[in-house]
């Protein structure tokens, strides 16, 4: 694997601190790429405040009908698995936001009355902040799937170290994101909710064959169900970040803790070293690589 490492930070649940951890890890590295894959609610920019150096529109092919060629046979309407087409009289109605851009209707039309045109789906923004490359994707409101945006973001990566701020949950956006990672950092809260969601995230990364480790976040005194889960399942605990009012306040105001507080600068620097070391160790011992 050499010196390259793509680390996906995920949690299976929102609000555990994925973004806080991702932005601070990226900021403390010499020159990393930070990618915000939470296309529904992208928040990384709030902390990093990058200078945007470029943006482009991500498009998807959508069918367009030539009514002169269409004879109302309804083959396309019946074939579309997503109900994105309707035929009223002789008019073919096409519903772009429901369409999955699979291309079947265009292929199957016996009269060649359908063709595909590129339609805007969302934006990819590229920015810089000090030594960091910032990439963020945003889906247009009303669109159905951000997967093409995530694919576009992944094609952009350039530096050796890439930190991906994953979307929450365990759906197709997460699997698309995780598919591109070498290593997954699972962020977990010290509650039974946190442990339950850690289990789900762990199942997902295991299903996808990705090595992972846990960061216990917002830790307090008392039993930590997430810590117990990790120990019971042989999941390496790579660090523990105690709940700290000061950190919470800094982050809620959109500040990068590593820039405002020496203690956190050191903490995240050490955490990053531990993670990259673990990532390399995992890839070196993986016979598939």
Residue ranges in contact with another protein by CB under 8 A: 12-16, 19, 40-41, 43, 46, 77, 79, 81-84, 86-89, 91, 93, 95, 97-98, 100-104, 107-108, 142, 144-145, 168-172, 175, 189-193, 196-197, 200, 203-204, 207, 220, 222-223, 225, 245, 248-249, 251-254
| Nearest-approach distance from CB 14 to another protein, in angstroms | 1
Residue 170: which of 138, 141, 140, 197 has the closest Cα?
Answer: 197
30 versus 249: smaller Cβ distance to another protein: 249
69 versus 192: smaller Cβ distance to another protein: 192
| Nearest-approach distance from CB 176 to another protein, in angstroms | 9
| Nearest-approach distance from CB 199 to another protein, in angstroms | 10
Considering only CA atoms, give the Rg of the chain: 22
Residue 219: which of 210, 228, 211 has the closest Cα?
Answer: 228
39 versus 276: smaller Cβ distance to another protein: 39
| Nearest-approach distance from CB 31 to another protein, in angstroms | 25
Bridge pairing between strands 237-242 and 212-219 = parallel
89 versus 287: smaller Cβ distance to another protein: 89
56 versus 95: smaller Cβ distance to another protein: 95
Instruction: Answer whether 5's CB lies under 8 Å from 182's CB.
Output: yes
Contacts of 156 (CB under 8 A, 6+ apart): 35, 124, 126, 135
| Nearest-approach distance from CB 200 to another protein, in angstroms | 6
- Cα distance between residue 253 and residue 229, in whole Å: 32
- Cα distance between residue 20 and residue 18, in whole Å: 6
Instruction: Answer whether 239's CB lies under 8 Å from 271's CB.
Output: yes
């Amino acid at each position: 694997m050499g010196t390259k490492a793509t680390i996906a930070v995920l949690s299976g649940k929102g609000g555990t601190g994925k973004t806080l951890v991702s932005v601070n890890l990226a900021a403390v590295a010499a020159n990393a790429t930070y990618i915000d894959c939470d296309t529904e609610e992208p928040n990384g920019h709030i902390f990093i405040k990058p200078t945007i150096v470029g943006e482009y529109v991500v498009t998807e092919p959508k069918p367009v009908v030539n009514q002169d060629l269409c004879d109302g046979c309804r083959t396309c309407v019946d074939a579309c698995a997503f109900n994105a087409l309707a035929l009223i009289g002789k008019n073919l109605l096409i519903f772009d936001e429901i369409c999955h851009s699979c291309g079947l209707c265009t292929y199957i039309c016996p009269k060649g009355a359908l063709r595909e045109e590129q339609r805007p789906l969302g934006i990819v923004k590229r920015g810089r902040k000090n030594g960091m490359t910032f990439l963020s994707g945003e889906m247009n409101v009303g669109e159905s799937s951000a997967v093409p945006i995530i694919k576009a973001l992944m094609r952009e990566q350039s530096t050796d170290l890439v930190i991906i701020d994953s979307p929450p949950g365990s759906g197709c956006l997460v699997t698309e994101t995780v598919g591109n990672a070498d290593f997954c950092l699972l962020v977990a809260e010290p509650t039974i909710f946190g442990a339950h969601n850690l289990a789900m995230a762990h199942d997902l990364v295991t299903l996808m064959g990705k090595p992972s480790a846990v960061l216990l976040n917002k830790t307090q005194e008392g039993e930590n169900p997430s810590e117990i889960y990790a120990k019971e399942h042989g999941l390496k605990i790579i660090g523990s970040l105690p709940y700290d009012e000061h950190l919470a306040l800094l982050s809620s105001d959109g500040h990068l803790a590593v820039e405002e507080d020496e203690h956190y600068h050191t903490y995240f620097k050490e955490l990053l070293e531990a993670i990259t070391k673990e990532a390399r160790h995992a890839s070196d011992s993986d016979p598939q690589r």
